[in-house]
């Protein structure tokens, strides 16, 4: 059973795509990803075109980590939302929040980058339950596993 699979949907906070409203981003999932349930986001134009683009919180919460996790994640922000659920945003080029800070769904938390030893810019994104990566849902829709899908934030815009 996948981590968090037994968690009732009502206990999972409503989480949105981690970019400003109306922007379309390509999310990639793959069976050899570490952790398995993560999504890597890029603009559809590819390359490093997304380097420095703003990243927003998926919903309101409290920043529990903001800094460098070293090789692998690089510059990272973790936000605790509720009921054991948190989100992780990694490979950032810049962190715009501090530990303990309360953020809203519309808060800018950092910028897309390639820190942590990455060869190209992208946002590594996780939804975590009790600090374990879980299957990703945006609102009530499960992310596509495995391959690419397009994602656009449509709520929590202002």
Q: Residue 51: pLDDT above 90?
A: yes
Place of tokens 């810019």: 121
Q: What is the pLDDT of residues 5-44, one digit of tens each?
A: 455 555 999 999 999 999 999 999 999 999 999 999 999 9
| Domain 14-148 classification at class level | mainly beta
Distance CA 133, CA 107 (A): 23
The predicted structure's pLDDT at residue 72: 93
Distance CA 89, CA 15 (A): 13
Distance CA 140, CA 10 (A): 10
Count CB atoms within 10 A of the CB of residue 23. Answer: 15
pTM over 0.75: yes
C-alpha distance from residue 43 to each of 24, 80, 141 (Å): 7, 26, 21
The predicted structure's pLDDT at residue 34: 93
Q: What is the pLDDT of residues 128-142, one digit of tens each?
A: 999 999 999 999 999
b vs e for 55-83, b when ≥16 Cβ sit within 10 Å of the residue's Cβ?
A: bbbbbbbebebbeebeeebbbbbbbbbee
């Amino acid at each position: 059973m996948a981590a968090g699979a037994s968690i009732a949907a009502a206990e999972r906070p409503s989480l949105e795509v981690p970019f400003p409203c109306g922007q379309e981003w390509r999310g990639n999932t793959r069976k050899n990803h570490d952790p398995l349930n993560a999504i890597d986001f890029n603009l559809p134009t590819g390359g490093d075109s997304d380097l420095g683009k703003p990243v927003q919180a998926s919903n309101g919460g409290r920043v529990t980590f903001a800094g460098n996790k070293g090789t692998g994640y690089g510059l990272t922000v973790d936000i605790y939302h509720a009921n054991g659920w948190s989100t992780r945003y990694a490979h950032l080029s810049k962190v715009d929040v501090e530990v303990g800070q309360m953020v809203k769904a519309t808060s800018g938390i950092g910028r897309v980058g390639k820190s942590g030893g990455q060869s190209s810019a992208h946002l590594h994104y996780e939804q975590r339950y009790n600090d374990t990566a879980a299957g990703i849902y945006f609102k009530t829709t499960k992310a596509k596993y495995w391959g690419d899908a397009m994602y656009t934030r449509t709520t929590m815009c202002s």
